[in-house]
Amino acid sequence: MNIIEVKDLGTIEYGAAWELQEARMKEGLDIKAARFRQEEPLADASPIPHYLFLCEHPHVYTLGKSGALENLLINDQRMKALDVSFYKTNRGGDITYHGPGQMVAYPVLDLEQFFTDLGRYMRTLEEAVILTLREFGIESGRLPGATGVWLDPDTSAARKICAMGVRSSRWITIHGLALNINTDLQYFNYIVPCGIADKGVTSMEKELGRRVDEARVKELFLENFALVFEAELRREPAATAAI
């Protein structure tokens, strides 16, 4: 069974979390490169570690490599007034928002130790969220042709509750998903979320009509993540999780 190290980074600036993921990806890629050069016998090869970083970001818009800048609807001056930053990233997908009240999860996994299928990887991430939402009485699903987790996906009221975007290099993943829990949804008004103009965005708080225990959501998500990936999670307390 694969072991995944879980680290709760608390509130962390987007760029710092991105740098951390890139560093852990490089760690795995260096091991794979050494194996390819046969610098060490395969029997003695260093294991490639798996990580799952959980965090929350200050207000930030991020644009995927295939996204359109036109989907950011405000200028730099307005972003400064809103105290929101902006990053062009190397993940897939278009533009999205991260901020307080949102659970962000960044798995850094070597999929060669799980399954080498990016489509399956995305569906598995979605399943962990779908199972978690069900624990709160929220039924969700998938929208054909789109990533992420949606409510009422087959109706005109379809709305996204969890956005996703990933990058993979030699089957090592970075970036991940963002689940709206108690998120201030007004920040989505300044973008075309995920480049989809005719669909809405929602949160657990909005759907349930009450504030939601974010720590409880996180715990249930971790349980479901371990379940769908058939892995063992090893967790560090948030106060001691090392970057």
pLDDT tens sequence across 116-151: 999 999 999 999 999 999 999 999 999 999 999 999
200 phi and psi, to 5 degrees? -95, 180
Give pLDDT, residue 43: 53
Supply the residues annotated as catalytic. 194
Question: Comparing 47-51, 124-128, 161-165, which segment has the lowest mean pLDDT?
Answer: 47-51
Question: Around 218, how many Cα atoms within 13 Å sit in the side-chain half-sphere?
Answer: 23
Confidence label for 36 from pLDDT (cuts 50, 70 and 90): confident
For the cut 50, the answer to whether the pLDDT of residue 241 exceeds it is: no
For the cut 90, the answer to whether the pLDDT of residue 47 exceeds it is: no
Of 156, 217, 154, nearest to 183 (Cα)? 217
Determine the residue type at 176: G
Please give, one letter per residue, the 3-state secondary structure of the chain.
CEEEEEEEEEECCHHHHHHHHHHHHHHHHHHHHHHHCCCCCHHHCCCCCEEEEEEECCCEEEECCCCCHHHECCCHHHHHHHCCEEEECCCCCCEEEECCCEEEEEEECEHHHCCCCHHHHHHHHHHHHHHHHHCCCCCCECCCCCCCEEECCCCCCCEEEEEEEEEEECCEEEEEEEEECCCCHHHHHHECHHHCCCCEECCHHHHHCCCCCHHHHHHHHHHHHHHHHCEEEEEECCCCCCC
Give pLDDT, residue 44: 55
Give pLDDT, residue 100: 98
Q: What is the pTM of this model?
A: 0.93
How far apart, in Å, are the Cα atoms of 166 and each of 44, 91, 103, 154, 175? Answer: 31, 5, 16, 25, 5
For the cut 90, the answer to whether the pLDDT of residue 80 exceeds it is: yes
Give pLDDT, residue 195: 84
Confidence label for 243 from pLDDT (cuts 50, 70 and 90): very low
Question: 219-232 pLDDT, tens per residue?
Answer: 999 999 999 999 99
- For 93: left if phi > 0, alpha if psi spans -120 to 50, otherwise beta; the answer is left
Give pLDDT, residue 242: 45
Give pLDDT, residue 45: 61
Give pLDDT, residue 37: 74
Mean pLDDT of the region 38-66: 84
In sequence order, the 6+-apart residues with CB closer than 8 A to the CB of 70 are 192
Q: What would the CATH number be for the domain defined by 2-236? A: 3.30.930.10
For the cut 60, the answer to whether the pLDDT of residue 56 exceeds it is: yes
Give pLDDT, residue 240: 46
Give pLDDT, residue 19: 98
